[in-house]
Structure 1
Amino acid sequence: MSGRSVLMAYLIQHLLSESAQRYPHHEAARFKQQSMTYRQLDEITNRVAHALQHEGVRRGDRVGIYVHKSFASLVAIFGILKAGGVYVPLDPNAPAKRLAYITRNCDIRVVLSATNKLRDLDAMLEYETPVGVVMMTDQDAQAPAQLNGGVRVVPWYRIMAEPPTPPPDPGVIETDLAYILYTSGSTGVPKGVMISHRTIFTFINWCSDTFNITANDRLTSHAPLHFDLSTFDIFVAMQAGATVVLVPEQLSIFPVQLVRLLQDERITVTYLVPSVLSMMVNYGQLPKHDLSALRLVLFAGEVFPIKYLRQLVNMVPHPDYYNLYGPTETNVCTYYKVQPTDIAPDRTRPVPIGKACENMEVFAVKDDGTLVTEPGEEGELWVRGSCVAQGYWGDPEKTARSFVRNPYQPFFEETAYRTGDIVVLAEDRTNWIYIGRRDHMIKSRGYRIELGEIEAALYAHPHIKEAAVVAIPDDLIGNRLDAYIVPEDGYHLSADIVRAHCAQHLPRYMIPERIELLATLPKTSTGKTDRTGLKKMAMAAKGATP
């Protein structure tokens, strides 16, 4: 075991090793009624680290994780980090061609995977990849010794034959990379966001202090590994010696089962995207469940329609609710605690994204390059501090566009991140109000329009359950507005009814030209509304190519 004191932790893997010293018999993780203690997790990940080093993994090497949410998720993360590697989550539900691109882009030569993903791995390996070794995270006597292209398979029993003691120190320091998360790029090519140990520690320490996470807490881990929400669930729990309850992926589409898990596992802290929380409001039968253990509900990733936040707080009033904001490139950089006045019955606008987290600074820059200083002024949000990522892997041009020299720091050279999000300073001069993405700002008939404002108006209709608006380029008017609506179950809505509702809340130029009713809105692998998919649908309806 590591002999470091708690105060000396500066690498992510230290969090597990130190909690294993302090709480060896405490539950580190639970999955489908099974549990693993901190000592067990620490020793298993030591074995994995030894095996990775024997396969040639050295400091800074990128190692893929290709598993569904399970104990293997934790084993892979900490095994890779202890070996000195950089973990790269591969979305287990993504197309093979996309995953092959990621392995080529950051030169992944070793992948940790599971038996139920071997067929998909074979499909991925049909494309050109640098992968030479697949290490199993479970035991299967039927697993082949090789995959496509002669890729060698290392069985689990061989990994478990490694010693449970810490592996040789790979020489990693806090400025080295801990992981790379691939997000969608505007050109359709994924971009890898590089996060160092120091960068994620800034977030972990802030979370632990702000939300008072202790060893008595039980946190859900709902987000997939390739989504930055997962770093709170796992790393903050490991630092505190708390228990992380891994949520099976399929529960996202069964809100009653998800609510039952919160009840049965006596969850105290949960961090979810608003789409999932909205489904719990609509279908989760919240009043029928005992959620008395729940003390903290965090949400992030997209705007939370106020109608569903209001219903959620009314159904489950005792926890504290926080809106967390931040792109993958900064993780969370602002936060806002929901107040009773924020859910007044007549409110239609979403809650603010709040103020900067401690040890971080955010500021907004107007189009003329000056700083936003007065309430009501609008600008693009910039972020500075150790929370800012190291850029995009292997793409200096994209990095240079978003990770820029901070012109408002006169004393030394400093990098700031341009979020591309438009905000307004609130009347209290403390909190920021999210207006929308710069790329969601469009012009139609000469008017500047924020698509989120139209969506907020749509959600104000009592019988609209989900809504999304996309802009379709139009030679005549600049952009045409298409709205996709999901009505409440059993309620009849028509395009004319929706259009009449919009006319009561929006100027004529903001009323969508085309309104389509759907049974549900498509979702991305991270649970957000799939706006790219909707735009493709809209373009297809127009008879054009996006």
Structure 2
Amino acid sequence: MSTTTLVDIISNSSDKSPHKAAFRFEQEAISYRELEVKTTQLAKYLGSVGVQKGDRVGIFMNRCLESVIAVYGIMKAGAAYVPLDANAPHARTVFLLNDANIKIVVGTETFSKKLQKLLEAQSPLERLIGVQLKVTYQTTPWEEIYQVEIKGFKPILIAEEDVAYIMYTSGSTGLPKGIVHSHKSGLTYAGLSAQLFKVSPEDRVGNHAPLHFDISTFGYFTAPLAGATTIIIPEAHTKLPVSMLALMEKEKLSIWYSVPLALIQLHLCGLISEYNLTSLRCVLFGGENFTLKYLRALMQEWPHAKFYNIYGPAEVNQCTHYLIDELPPLDKPVPIGKVWGANEYKILNENDQELRGIGQVGELVVKTDTMMIGYWNNPELTKKSFYLENTSSNKTKKYFRTGDLVKRNLTNDLVFVGRNDRQVKFRGYRVELDEIETVLERHNLIKKAAVCLVNSSPSDTVIFAGIQLEKTTMISPNALKLYCKLHLPPYMVPQKIEIMKEFPKTSSGKIDLLAFKNKIKAI
């Protein structure tokens, strides 16, 4: 059977290796055959309660085996899954429910109180799956899903252009934006990454990222496409480096993919040498810069593994890679490498003219089959995000504008230089600093806010917020942090907040962000 959509991944692997563990979590495992059955049960149930092709269904849970059943069951029903960060503020989640018109959310009993609160909010939400609440007619526990008779189930006809999932990320307007991916873009990414890193049925892939973070697609799509086993890293282990190392050894992980900070924490615990991780053959990292002294140290700890710097905005999944085959020098950034597969790229100046020379800095635009359809409910932003090239054969090529400034080095590898806007990469997440400022300035005691990233130590950075209060008002930084927690995901809440008398200004009267950042460094 050919693999033409993401749904086919589990069906095909179930036919080839029915009893092989597809995913593991803590002491539990689910085989490819079990996954095929349970995703079909969920798909049939979703259809019975009115889910139709093209609908959006939310997933509200931490890392667990049910998350996999939810992902593939929703897609098998012809719908698109929308990961909802269970740790995000209530108001933000309600916004996503309304923006994507989500009527059904799949969750677990762990978050029954939060899910009950969502059911009571003003939104399209009508039904919860995976929990049993007092409002029984609106909730269906997993036990009931697993009793659904799948005999006679008629698969929904899904085309590769159909929407498979929508991932929300920070937006510069102060509101999250939904990145819409098709079955084609997701499956193409899975196939290219499986080929690039030679993923095989013998591999055991560590899935460190939560479902709402795009790195998770490697564990959820790439690994099962290759018939490998994905080990979902429990939430608690992500905060305890020593227990993480023990898990990596116990599970004999062969491929690891995470943000650099997770790897830095493993190194800094000082106990790597006590664990046998010779099974590790590929260490993939992306989402932010890797502090070079720690990268070098980790490469010396694991000389048997190959290290790859991975680059790619969530809108195009992954689009470049760079194999670090020797210890990188401390005085040069690690390149983001070359584009892969049949991908194409250009470097453009501010007038959209192509730059071809070595060392010339411009915006990277990428043409790839792993590219998103667009932004959900936002045609204007979608239009702005693409660069269209008219070819000599009167055909139009569509490139995604990454917003990242790059240059070519002497080996023709791409090197990341910075951003052409105020988006930053923070602990693997894309964060629009404008969104944090917008939230702060909504507070009735705040006159003006400015936000930037600053180094807190050689191995880490923090989000710093400077605020100017309205006259004759007082509020503590801790109170402002609590306020931010009500409106922003945890990773976007400023770690440091300073009350400032005034901000440095440009000649036009705007906040001088460069001078502000330099001033912060001196505090």
TM-score normalised by L of structure 2:
0.82
Q: CA shift at 1:171, angstroms? A: 1.9
Q: Does 1:61 align with 2:55?
A: yes
Residues 305-339 of structure 1: per-residue CA shift (max 9 Å, x gap): 11111111011111111111000100101110012
Q: CA shift at 1:538, angstroms? A: 5.0
Q: Which residue pairs with 1:485 in the alignment?
A: 456
Of 298, 303, 322 in structure 2, the residue corresponding to residue 312 of structure 1 is: 298
C-alpha distance 214-542 of structure 1, shift in aligned 2 (>3 A): farther
Q: Does 1:47 align with 2:41?
A: yes
Q: Which residue pairs with 1:395 in the alignment?
A: 378
Q: Which residue pairs with 1:332 in the alignment?
A: 318
Residues 450-509 of structure 1: per-residue CA shift (max 9 Å, x gap): x99xx9xxxxxxxxxxxxxx9999xxxxx99873423689xxxxxxxxxxxxxxxxxxxx
Maintained 8 Å contact 1:43/1:165: no
Q: Which residue pairs with 2:417 in the alignment?
A: 435
Structure 2 SS opposite 1:439: coil
Task: State the distance in 2 between where 1:312 and 1:32 align.
Answer: 26
Q: CA shift at 1:145, angstroms? A: 4.1
The higher relative CO (CA closer than 8 Å, separation ≥ 6) is in 2
Task: State the distance in 2 between where 1:360 and 1:367 align.
Answer: 23
User: How do 1:131-530 and structure 2 match up within 5 A?
Assistant: 131-136=125-130, 143-146=132-135, 152-165=138-151, 167-283=153-269, 285-340=271-326, 342-344=327-329, 347-406=330-389, 411-429=394-412, 431-440=413-422, 483-486=454-457, 530=491
Task: State the distance in 1 between where 2:68 and 2:354 align.
Answer: 42
Structure 1 SS opposite 2:456: strand
Residues 114-139 of structure 1: per-residue CA shift (max 9 Å, x gap): 11111111223343110101111x7x
Of 10, 17, 22 in structure 2, the residue corresponding to residue 23 of structure 1 is: 17
Maintained 8 Å contact 1:255/1:284: no
Task: State the distance in 1 between where 2:128 and 2:112 align.
Answer: 9
Of 98, 101, 115 in structure 2, the residue corresponding to residue 107 of structure 1 is: 101
Maintained 8 Å contact 1:258/1:284: no
Q: Does 1:533 align with 2:494?
A: yes
Maintained 8 Å contact 2:281/2:304: yes
Maintained 8 Å contact 2:116/2:133: no
Q: Which runs of 5+ in 2 are unaligned?
A: 427-432, 438-449, 461-484, 504-510, 514-523
Q: Does 1:85 align with 2:73?
A: no
Structure 1 SS opposite 2:93: helix
Q: CA shift at 1:368, angstroms? A: 3.4
Q: Which runs of 5+ in 1 are unaligned?
A: 442-450, 456-469, 474-478, 490-523
Structure 1 SS opposite 2:304: coil
C-alpha distance 532-326 of structure 1, shift in aligned 2 (>3 A): farther
Structure 2 SS opposite 1:382: strand
Maintained 8 Å contact 2:391/2:397: no
Maintained 8 Å contact 2:291/2:459: no
Task: State the distance in 2 between where 1:210 and 1:276 align.
Answer: 23
1:177 maps to amino acid: V
2:117 maps to amino acid: A
Task: State the distance in 1 between where 2:157 and 2:452 align.
Answer: 54
Task: State the distance in 2 between where 1:542 and 1:75 align.
Answer: 53
C-alpha distance 284-407 of structure 1, shift in aligned 2 (>3 A): farther
Task: State the distance in 2 between where 1:334 and 1:165 align.
Answer: 44
Task: State the distance in 2 between where 1:488 and 1:47 align.
Answer: 46
Task: State the distance in 2 between where 1:80 and 1:343 align.
Answer: 43
Maintained 8 Å contact 1:220/1:245: yes
Task: State the distance in 2 between where 1:480 and 1:408 align.
Answer: 42
Maintained 8 Å contact 2:23/2:65: yes
Task: State the distance in 1 between where 2:391 and 2:135 align.
Answer: 55
Q: CA shift at 1:66, angstroms? A: 0.5
2:76 maps to amino acid: K
C-alpha distance 120-317 of structure 1, shift in aligned 2 (>3 A): same
Maintained 8 Å contact 2:38/2:146: yes
1:214 maps to amino acid: S
Percent identity (aligned): 33
- How many residues align? The count is 460
Maintained 8 Å contact 1:356/1:362: yes
Q: Which residue pairs with 1:520 in the alignment?
A: none
Task: State the distance in 1 between where 2:352 and 2:314 align.
Answer: 24
1:439 maps to amino acid: D
Maintained 8 Å contact 1:200/1:387: yes
C-alpha distance 481-332 of structure 1, shift in aligned 2 (>3 A): closer
Task: State the distance in 1 between where 2:490 and 2:194 align.
Answer: 29
Q: CA shift at 1:191, angstroms? A: 0.4
Task: State the distance in 2 between where 1:66 and 1:386 align.
Answer: 29
Maintained 8 Å contact 1:256/1:283: yes
TM-score normalised by L of structure 1:
0.79
Q: CA shift at 1:403, angstroms? A: 2.4
Q: Which residue pairs with 1:467 in the alignment?
A: none
Residues 197-220 of structure 1: per-residue CA shift (max 9 Å, x gap): 101122111111111111111001
Q: Which moved more, 1:307-316 or 1:276-285?
A: 276-285
